Amino acid sequence: MKIDHSLPLEYSTDQNQYNILGFWIFLGAEIMLFATLFATYFTLANRTGSGPSGAEIFEITPVLIETLLLLTSSFTIGLGIHAMRLGNKKAMLSFFSITLLLGLAFLGVEIYEFIHYVHVGAGIQTSAFTSILLTTLGTHGAHVTLGLFWGLFIILQVKKRGLTPQTANKSFIFSLYWHFLDVVWIFIFSFIYLKGMM
Amino acid sequence: MKELFPAKQVLGFAFSLVLTVIALAVYFLDMSFQTGMTILLVTAFVQAGVQLTVFMHAGETDDKGAIYLNVYYGLIIALVTIFGTLLAMVWDM
């Protein structure tokens, strides 16, 4: 294994570079996946049947809290990768832990929101609108949930093995995933919630 | 402590917050659907760009050509899917 010390640790071997590029290709496919959900949402947004419309069930406060939580978590994991590049393992793990706590809080608010929707009569089977709404939000939420477990395992591994080309590479790829989840949320925030409440 | 908070990322975060506040204008202010959607399209795509370049380090390494090509490819397929669907299903063209 040839290690190039002029590059950051996560890029230092050929294998690492291919792993990162491979993950970007996965993210490209994820963009397309969410595009199909958005396309379906825009088609069905007004097909509310006898159920409520978006404007009737969306609340700005939880949505704003979710946005700030995810936006901040995207910032803190960026700081985590910066600390990793400085070789500061302790700071890196702190930033990664803060990121996961913010992610957990996000998930908590989203679960509250889902319970609220069911309470006001907007379950997944109520109308075409509610089913695509909850499918889109749920797909994003499932990604966040997966990310929480993934991030936890990354933290444990870095703790155990220290910063090596392998663990740095895994951490960097996880950070790409987490930032991507924030990007998807920006579009959900703008084109589902704000558009719906406009 | 200061070295843990690089100016580029702190500014990127601040800029993201500003964009979020601008996007909120469509909720708090009265405006037409067209104006609102224009604001949302601009703030959402600029913010996605900030994430990509500042936080995801997309343009910093030798593989940036392949990374951007792949992101643009994903984006084109996404836009064709969404606008194709809108054309056929919503705008009735």
Give the span between the Cα atoms of A184 and B6, in whole angstroms. Answer: 25
Domain A9-197 classification at class level: mainly alpha
Q: Which domain holds residue B29?
A: 1-56
Say if residue B38 is in the same domain as residue B3.
yes
Do B71 and B52 have their domain in common? no
C-beta atoms of A42 and B23 within 8 A = no
**Can you list the alpha helix ranges (DSSP code H) found in chain A?**
14-44, 54-57, 60-85, 89-119, 128-161, 165-188, 195-197
Distance from CA of A122 to the nearest CA of B (A): 22
Query: What pLDDT does residue B36 have?
Result: 93
Q: Where are the domains of chain A?
A: 9-197
- Cα–Cα distance between B72 and B93 in angstroms, integer? 26
Residues of chain A contacting B20 with CB distance shorter than 8 Å? 67-68, 71, 189
Q: What is the CA radius of gyration of chain B?
A: 17
**The token pair that represents B61 in the structure block:** 């390494």
Q: Which of A186, A189, A197 to mutate to test the interface with B (most CBs of B within 10 A)?
A: A186
State whether residue B40 is helix, strand or coil: helix
Q: For residue B27, give the nearest of A24, A60, A175 by CB distance.
A: A60
Contact B85 A75 (CB under 8 A): no
Report how far residue A196's alpha carbon sits from residue A56's, in angstroms, rounded to the nearest whole number: 9
Q: What is the pLDDT of residues A36-46, one digit of tens each?
A: 999 999 999 99
As to burial, measured by CB atoms within 10 angstroms (0-12 exposed, 13-18 middle, 19+ buried), residue B62 is: exposed
Same domain membership, residue B69 and residue B26: no
Residue B4 shares a structural domain with residue B43: yes
**Burial of B2 by CB count in 10 Å (0-12 exposed, 13-18 middle, 19+ buried)?**
exposed
Shared domain check, B42 and B73: no
ipTM comes to 0.92
Beta carbons of A197 and B3 less than 8 Å apart: no
Total domains in chain B come to 2
Helix spans in A45-59 (H): 54-57
Same domain, B3 and B28: yes
Q: What percent of chain B has pLDDT over 70?
A: 100
Convert the pLDDT of each residue in A71-122 to its tens digit.
999 999 999 999 999 999 999 999 999 999 999 999 999 999 999 999 999 9
Tokens of B20: 């979020």
**Residues B64 and B48 reside in one and the same domain:** no
Would you state the pLDDT for residue B40?
95
Residues B49 and B21 occupy one common structural domain: yes
